[in-house]
Structure 1
Amino acid sequence: MSKVLLVEDNPAQSELMESYLREGGHTVIRLNNAKEALNKAIEHKPDVIVTDVVMPGMSGFELCRRIKNNPLTTKIPIVICSSKDQEIDRLWGMKQGADAYLTKPFSREQLVRAVNLAVV
């Protein structure tokens, strides 16, 4: 069982993703903004971070970049889950350090598989 830091500002989407991850056997720490996620990542040392891209204050791309540039969090895998479905978005996410990029809508199986592969 791995610890997942879930960063999603849409309450309904966040609740759905949390239930998918819990059903997949993961412990979930749920946040609704990327700024708080920076501190929680250092504090809780999650096995993986799952983040949205479009959020107020700080984007998931910026969160990814900051996590990967911090020596305390650089090894934490990141799965981006976004409605931004253009190839350029996927490439930009990977360039920021993401380990996987899922586009919404995604199935429970797709999310759990991406998280499981990122943790390995």
Structure 2
Amino acid sequence: MIKVLVVEDTNSERELICDYLREGGYSVISACDGKDGLDKFEQSRPNVVITDLMMPEMSGLELCRAIKKSILGAVPVIACTAKKQDLDRFWGMKQGLDAYLTKPFTRNDIVQAVQSLSLGE
């Protein structure tokens, strides 16, 4: 089963993403900020990570860079963010993001992004 780590500081959005993924048949781990996300990433070794970009303690881009520097750096990282500007998307992809979703999102947006990045699993 494909394991997805969801890192989101807003409880309602984190739970919504987790619910969508569970309904899609994925195993889900969640974290409330980037530091917690990095700890859970190292412990659980997920197949895909979905992260918000604007979080306290450690931003989603900082989390992405830490993941990409790790020995598990090939794990895809998806941003799910309110930052909608083309420059934000460009900068995020330059920092190592594998996909960029903007809020508001749909169930299909989330599940299709994970599915497309985990096909090789």
How would you bin the TM-score normalised by the shorter chain? over 0.9
What are the equivalent positions in structure 2 for 1:1-120 lying under 5 Å apart? 1-70=1-70, 72-120=71-119
The separation in 1 between residues aligned to 2:38 and 2:101, in whole angstroms, is: 21
3-state SS of paired residue (1:94) = helix
Match of 2:83, as an amino acid? Answer: K
1:28 counterpart SS class: strand
Structure 1 stretches of 4+ moved >3 Å: none
Gaps of 5+ in 2: none
SS of 1:46's partner is: coil
- Asked whether the 8 Å contact 2:30–2:37 carries over to 1, the reply is no
| Matches of 2:2 and 2:92, distance apart in 1 | 23
The amino acid across from 1:47 in the alignment is N
Structure 1 spans left out of the alignment, 5+ residues = none
**Aligned-residue CA RMSD in angstroms?**
0.8
Normalising by the residue count of structure 2, what TM-score does the alignment of the two structures yield?
A: 0.95
- TM (norm. structure 1) is 0.95
* Residue 36 of structure 1, CA deviation: 1.6
